[in-house]
Structure 1
Amino acid sequence: MPAEPDATDAELRRWQDTIQRIPEPVSLQEARALSASFGPDDCFGLAWALLHKIETCGMQVVVDEPEPSDEWRHRLWRRWQNQLGIP
């Protein structure tokens, strides 16, 4: 996913269309592959759409705690920890 300053309108439309076309729920394998697609920022909200698509898997996608600099994968991991009630 491109960074906001580098994204063109065409790229943003392509990412949005692609995310919307992914059938839900995604499998664990698909969710893990999709989690590698995050860019360095929220890409005008598209990263949130991708995160929510990944969460339709219903399983823990990121098993080990990623570096905090890997913001979106860390966010996925933290959200799963919160669901499990792990402080």
Structure 2
Amino acid sequence: MTTRIQSTIQKTDTLARLGGDEFIILSPYTKSNLAAHRAQELINVLHPPFELEHEEVFTGVSIRDQSTSVRWRYGRGID
């Protein structure tokens, strides 16, 4: 999962793992319209299943943009 997330972040971003399935990306100077685009990129790279011990594992994604208080889930903005 980390590798997929890293493929979408910029050199100026900071990626941290908070817990077993929680990650945070600090992305300074990112405007809300770009944040929405980047949220969709994250959803796109995390949507395909992972292979774990010869089994497909599917994940869910929930993204929160702290600068605008908009949450993103599966490509849709939700309030």
Which structure carries more helix by proportion? Answer: 1
**Higher RCO (C-alpha under 8 Å, 6+ residues apart):** 1
TM-score where L is the length of structure 2: 0.33
